Amino acid sequence: MDVATRTGPLITLWSLRMAITAHLVAVLAQPVLAGRYLTGDVDAITAHGAVGTALAALDLLVIAAAAVYVVGGRGALWVLPAAVLLFLAVGLQIGMGYARQLGLHVPLGVGIVTASVLFTAWVWTPSARGARSDRALPEAGR
């Protein structure tokens, strides 16, 4: 096999895949926990808050993985700003939740879930693997 031939995703893409998938799992837990609270499980709101706070930390991992993917792995340029926007949205979501501003908290949550599902779905497609790799890799020995 030629050194310049790449057959699978780089570690940078795998890092992004793992980070955004972990983020998605936490995001999908949020409506479940909120629903449990609304049906009478008062302890679920504590878990909802803790998972929301953990999402901010996960988003920092997503941003780091996105930066490495874009810079080191020559990934799609839109990924890093999208990761930063997701982090900012989660931060606003946390603030609105603790402020009990449900008029913004609920629709913003729907937007975060939607964006997270789409981002995660995209990162597992073949187009994520070849985002900017259509340029020829330097040949060995040049």
Nearest to 129 by CA among 79, 87, 81: 79
Angle at 31 between CA 28 and CA 33, to 5 degrees: 100
| Contact (Cβ atoms closer than 8 angstroms) between residue 56 and residue 90 | yes
Average pLDDT over residues 63-84: 91
Q: Tell me the domain boundaries of the chain.
A: 11-129
pLDDT at 49 over 90: yes
Rounded to whole angstroms, the Cα distance separating 53 from 95 reads 10
Rounded to whole angstroms, the Cα distance separating 120 from 114 reads 10
Q: Please tell me what DSSP assigns to residue 14.
A: H
58-77 residues labelled b (16+ CB within 10 A) or e (exposed):
bbebbbebbbbbbeebbbbe
What are the pLDDT digits (tens) for 93-137? 999 999 999 999 999 999 999 999 999 999 999 888 875 554 444
Q: pTM for this one?
A: 0.82
